[in-house]
Amino acid sequence: MEILSPHGAKILLEMSTAVTRNDWVGRVIDGKFPLLEWLGGDEQPGVFRTELNGPEMQSAVIRLMPADREDAEDRLRAWAAGARLSHPRLMRIFESGRVQAAGVALLYVVTEYAEESLAQVIPERPLSTGEAREMLPPILDALSYLHGQGFVHGHIKPSSILVVHDRLKLPVDRIRRTGTESPWEQVTIYDAPEVRSADISPAADIWSLGVTLVEALTQNPPLWVPAAQIDPPVPSEVAQPFGEIARACLRRDPAGRASMGEIRARLDPRRSSEEPASEAHSTAPAEALARLPQPGGETPSRRGLILIGAALLALFVLIAFLVIRVHKPEPSSSAVARSPAPPAVQAPAPAMTPAQPPPSAAAPSGSAGASRKGAVAQQVMPTVLDSANRTIQGKVELRVRLDVDANGAVTDARFDVQGSSRYYAAKALEAARRWKFNPAQVDGVAVPSIWTLRFDFRRSGLEVTAVEVSP
């Protein structure tokens, strides 16, 4: 028996009792994919975290489902097609197939591991207009690539907008060939009106994108009654240009919906509506370049001169900064640790040399009213996968506040600034708790102190700055 949630999602009330989720943790699928943690799923056995073999031991996700389902062959074909696609905004499919496990015939697919989805953010708060402006271009890039390859995504919704190492991606495990029969048995608000009566087309993804945009900005999908022959109303609180974009996506007539180029033009009128997807055949640097305005009247030679001039200016500023930094002493209350570009798994950096003077140079401990700053005695650098660092654009900055007792041990660690990446946040907090300090002294007596650690993760390496806040 099936019932529908308010959003129309299927809740399966009767499932096979042949296996239980807890029983499957610890098993190995196909001799190479260990089931390390159950992540959810409405089918048994469900979705698990696994690891890929290799020097980096990369986390991944494996989805298991019964092999006797009616759409088994369709699923296998979709996974095989998705594995052949290559785009920086699409989730990678590493492997898929059939397998026998614990006497059960299963289908499985192994994909990248996502730290977060938009569906986890929306219940807590709506996206800001700035966040929506950053979210749309990667989705448009991914969909443009898929449509150009002859596929329809078919499942654009908040739970399908995923974050992998601080990079927004779409899953491709349920893609369909354009023009094939619609696979949906139950239509939800995310599914275009025509999907039950016509073959699927890229216009269906446009509709889904409009619904998702409204929900991201208001925490609720648009209210719409399919029987009413009108377009779904877009709430007035949706700011422009997003209200205009959503209305253009949510037209009942597929032929009347906005194209990818029209959405781009509404999002940024300075860019041509005919501009191709910025990442279809590029790596991460193209994302930053695509955001630069393209003045219409400049010739290639003039643009080249501007770029050369900008590069020379940047080089001059960098040299000046380095000269100043070499001759500028560090503050006495802080210490900086730098880690070079990490290997596959980053090893702890050598012991840090604090910037403050050694204890012998401080005020005598017996002097009345004298105080002495603490110092870092042991610093522990986060162990971060090199594959994760390669996804960083600019830097990932986090600040951790530490409570340190009179013995120099960390008693509490919490975030001042957590940043946008759960992966790097967890790694930084885990490492920060293991730091040790030479305690601060007041009147010759060791006292508790408070420190902040600023972690700057960059593609080229990691820099940690330690600052004693008090006493």
Share of the chain above pLDDT 90, in %: 45
For residue 370, pLDDT beyond 60: yes
- What superfamily does domain 116-225+233-289 belong to in CATH? Transferase(Phosphotransferase) domain 1 (1.10.510.10)
What pLDDT is stored for residue 4 in this prediction? 35
Q: What is the mean pLDDT of residues 217-227?
A: 88
Higher pLDDT, 17 or 359: 359
Structural tokens at position 468 = 């004693």
What pLDDT is stored for residue 45 in this prediction? 78
Query: What pairing do the DSSP bridges indicate for beta strands 59-66 and 93-101?
Result: unpaired
| Average per-residue pLDDT for the chain | 78
CA atoms of 444 and 383, how far apart (whole Å): 37
Q: What is the mean pLDDT of residues 428-433?
A: 90
Nearest residue to 167 (alpha-carbon basis) of 113, 244, 225? 113
Q: What is the mean pLDDT of residues 449-465?
A: 90
Structural tokens at position 297 = 């009247």
Query: Which residue shows structure tokens 């209350």?
Result: 333
Q: How sure is the predictor about 223, in pLDDT bands with cuts at 50, 70 and 90? A: confident
Locate the domains of the chain by residue range: 2-112, 116-225+233-289, 302-331, 334-470
AA identity, residue 143: L
Inter-residue contact 334 to 465 (CB < 8 Å): yes
Alpha carbon 89 to chain centroid, angstroms: 11
Q: What is the pTM of this model?
A: 0.56
Inter-residue contact 205 to 258 (CB < 8 Å): no
Q: How sure is the predictor about 23, in pLDDT bands with cuts at 50, 70 and 90? A: confident
Q: How sure is the predictor about 185, in pLDDT bands with cuts at 50, 70 and 90? A: low
CA atoms of 298 and 273, how far apart (whole Å): 19
Query: What pairing do the DSSP bridges indicate for beta strands 162-164 and 167-169?
Result: antiparallel
* Domain boundaries 2-112, corresponding CATH code: 3.30.200.20
Which residues are registered as beta bridge partners of 28?
34
How would you class 433 by CB atoms within 10 Å of its CB: exposed for 0-12, middle for 13-18, buried for 19 or more?
Answer: middle
Q: How sure is the predictor about 259, in pLDDT bands with cuts at 50, 70 and 90? A: very high
Q: How sure is the predictor about 283, in pLDDT bands with cuts at 50, 70 and 90? A: very low
Q: How sure is the predictor about 433, in pLDDT bands with cuts at 50, 70 and 90? A: very high
CA atoms of 102 and 339, how far apart (whole Å): 46
For residue 51, pLDDT beyond 60: yes
Higher pLDDT, 391 or 186: 391
Give the sign of the dihedral formed by CA 197, CA 200, CA 201, CA 202. Answer: positive
Which residues are registered as beta bridge partners of 169?
162
For residue 354, pLDDT beyond 70: no
Backbone angles phi, psi at 151, to 5 degrees: -120, 155
CA atoms of 161 and 169, how far apart (whole Å): 6
Query: Which residue shows structure tokens 């998705």?
Result: 82
Higher pLDDT, 226 or 182: 226
Angle value at C-alpha 97, between 96 and 103, nearest 5 degrees? 125
Kindly state the greatest CA–CA separation across the chain.
Answer: 88
Q: How sure is the predictor about 318, in pLDDT bands with cuts at 50, 70 and 90? A: low
DSSP for 269-290? TTS-TTPPPTTTT--THHHHHH
Q: How sure is the predictor about 337, in pLDDT bands with cuts at 50, 70 and 90? A: low
For residue 285, pLDDT beyond 80: no
Per residue in 98-112, pLDDT tens? 999 888 899 999 999
Backbone angles phi, psi at 66, to 5 degrees: -60, 140
CA atoms of 365 and 89, how far apart (whole Å): 59
Query: What pairing do the DSSP bridges indicate for beta strands 440-442 and 445-447?
Result: antiparallel
Which residues are registered as beta bridge partners of 12?
2
